[in-house]
Structure 1
Amino acid sequence: MDFKFTKSERIAQRVLVESGLDDPTEFPIEDIILGRNAFYEEKKLIGKEGEIVSVAGRSIITINSNIKFESKKRFAAAHELGHYEMHRKSFPVIFDTEEDLLNWYKAGPLETEANEFASEFLMPSEIFYNECNNKIFGPNIIAKLANRFKVSKTAAILKFVTRGNHPVVIVCCQDNKMKWWKASHDFRYFLEFEKDKTPPDGSVAYELFTTKKTYLEDELKQQIWKSDWLRMKNDDEQDTKFYEYCLHVKSFNYSISVIWED
């Protein structure tokens, strides 16, 4: 697959090569960080998921020991490694909250670059695409990708939108308000999106925020209609079936909806 890579993604690829890694799941992330001449530690942090402090040519990456899930801890560590590789000379102290790590397409340039680095470092694009190629898209694919690369489902979804094998659009909402969206390059429909507006009442996201209804297992893939999220060509166009997988991030009352057509 012929991908176009950002500068941050290319730096992640270089670090993988220099570290002698074909697959980053082969070694613990803390060992990789130590191999890059940075010190790694875990301790309780207040209001932060991770931080990096660089003084006199030495850097310490600290990850919040209160993070419950190893997949989330791995991404936070890879994110800080991205800051180390790209930003330590210009910014001696950088810290990141959970919200910084979630807001991929809303954060400032430093956080966007660190997220892109972490995503490519933990889920190399070529391997990621091969893992989902020739498979029918659905929530089960996201779960398998998350398990394969030892990342969260959120991280797997955000990677899939740029490196997956099926056209999708994702919409991030918080507190029943739409915040940002991202479509894969081959998604050919127009999303009806207005920042801070309530998600459409036919959507799974709207149902989540207004009724607290969540779906599990075989019900994760919910049938919706094109008109629920997407612009119709004209009044005569016949509505068609689409699907929505809505992942709820309880800590910040976020949802990430994946919308697609079979």
Structure 2
Amino acid sequence: MRIPLMALAMCMIAVLLSPAPSAAAGRPARGGLSAAPVVSRERLACAVPAIRAGSAASLKSFHRAMARCADRFWAGRFAAAGLTYTPPEVTVTTGGDSVCGRITANGAQYCPVQRTIVIRVMKHDLDDPFRMNIAHSVAHEWGHHVQELTGVLDAQNALYQPASTGARTLLSHRLEMQAECFAGVFYSAALTSIKPDVTWREWLDAVRRADYSKIHGRPRNLAYWQNRGYRDGSAAACDTWTAPKARVR
């Protein structure tokens, strides 16, 4: 039976990657999509440069700065937990191919075998750079790297292979929404450094208005999990695997 493998992976995440709460921080509320996070447990100062419209070079510099920021954040969480952390390789390109094949239409993907995050500079980002949306390419894919390091990707794959079509879709949603939640955890510390061009509430509204994705699930649920990670500031908030189906469809 393969389910205990996922339970073990989630135990690592819930117990080992959760920062000790500060004396001033209470337990955050779980419901709703509030615009304000709880008292932050940490602040991460990262130098994330401006983006110039039409400049692929500035977009590449932005992505690389975001990668350094995400690397510092997750390396710190793993070190505090006594876990081994290895950074992913990061490739930022204007081409269409990557170490794991053709880059998907959304412009970013994680290659687990190669432990590589691949980001393609897209034309719409060049023409109209939406800073928070571009930053999310790194934050979300780094979430998949955390899943790889903690065994979640292996556990999901073991469940996925024998599953029915409908069950596979739900497993995909649970995986992607957990990566969204991990991105929210990162934002809880790094959002000020990212200097988003929207408020947190506006960003969540934009996420909820996005198109439905069979791989990722309903936008409103993606917004819910991202906000949950942001409000809690802890990977312990990101157990999408035991969440009700209505929260991950």
Alignment TM class, shorter chain as reference: 0.3 to 0.5
Structure (1/2) with the larger strand percentage: 1
* Structure-1-length-normalised TM-score: 0.36
Q: Which has the higher contact order (CA 8 A, sep 6+)?
A: 2
Structure (1/2) with the larger helix percentage: 2
Q: Decide which structure has the larger Cα Rg and report it.
A: 1
